[in-house]
Amino acid sequence: MNIALIIAGGAGNRMGQDIPKQFMHVDGCPIIIHTMMCFQRHADIDAIAVVCLRGWETVLQAYANQFCIDKMRWVFPGGETGMQSIHNGIYGLREAGCNDQDLVLIHDSVRPLLSQDIISNNIATCQAYGYAITGIQCREAILESADGFASNHSIPRDSLIRTQTPQTFRLGNIIQVHEEAREKGIENSVASCTLIAEVGGREMHIVPGSEKNIKVTTVEDLEILKALMHTTREEWLKVKK
């Protein structure tokens, strides 16, 4: 079974709004529902699970009903950190009877422009190699700064990957990573890919992402999202194969 595990356990404090960013509306629909629709439409996704901010579970279920997200089968409570929310989700899936060989596509609830191709490539790459991380090569020049105001050191960009989600694993494998992290005292890694790197001993394979696969974190991101949702590619533009 291929399961989308959508992480919506955060309050979105950086957005500075009165409601969590995943429940903010764009074009008459909550951002999280736009995100869930990406998986709802994909033929190879069998089920959707959501790790939800505590107190918003009833709202989530009402929106899922309203927008016909019938693949949503489980809702798990969010944690204090992103890592804890993922922990709650993967262990919740195991307790719900999911198989350790099931594929779990862990995805941010506020990346609503995920393409069908990225989902397909995550599934294929995980099936082939065991660990699939969506990412794009870094195009910007990178400086390292300790205080955010001054720098005297640059980092070569050629080998740098900006990671996105989904990040896809077999359920048993990602649970094992969390078990090893607990034994090593790792409690707040920022993403599944960084957790795997900190635990060590595993090779992650990169799935090409997209600049359109934006994560909505700030008001400016919301403005970019709205622009992307209302733009189409000019017919004369060549598409790189």
Predicted confidence at residue 5, as pLDDT, reads: 98
Q: What's the mean pLDDT in 115-139?
A: 97
Residue extents of the structural domains in the chain: 2-143+150-229
Q: In whole angstroms, what is the distance from residue 92 CA to residue 86 CA?
A: 10
Predicted confidence at residue 241, as pLDDT, reads: 66
- Portion of the chain with pLDDT greater than 70, in percent: 99
- The number of helices, as runs of H, and strands, as runs of E, in the chain is 7, 11
Whether pTM > 0.85 for this model: the answer is yes
- The pLDDT tens digits of the residues spanning 153-176 come to 999 999 999 999 999 999 999 999
Q: Which CATH superfamily is domain 2-143+150-229 in?
A: Spore Coat Polysaccharide Biosynthesis Protein SpsA; Chain A (3.90.550.10)
Task: Give the containing element (helix H, strand E) for 164.
Answer: strand 161-170
Predicted confidence at residue 161, as pLDDT, reads: 96
- The pLDDT tens digits of the residues spanning 8-19 come to 998 877 777 889
What DSSP state is assigned to residue 214?
-
Q: In whole angstroms, what is the distance from residue 87 CA to residue 71 CA?
A: 21
Predicted confidence at residue 16, as pLDDT, reads: 77
Predicted confidence at residue 172, as pLDDT, reads: 98
User: Which region among 13-17, 136-140, 147-151, 152-156 has the lowest average model confidence (pLDDT)?
Assistant: 13-17
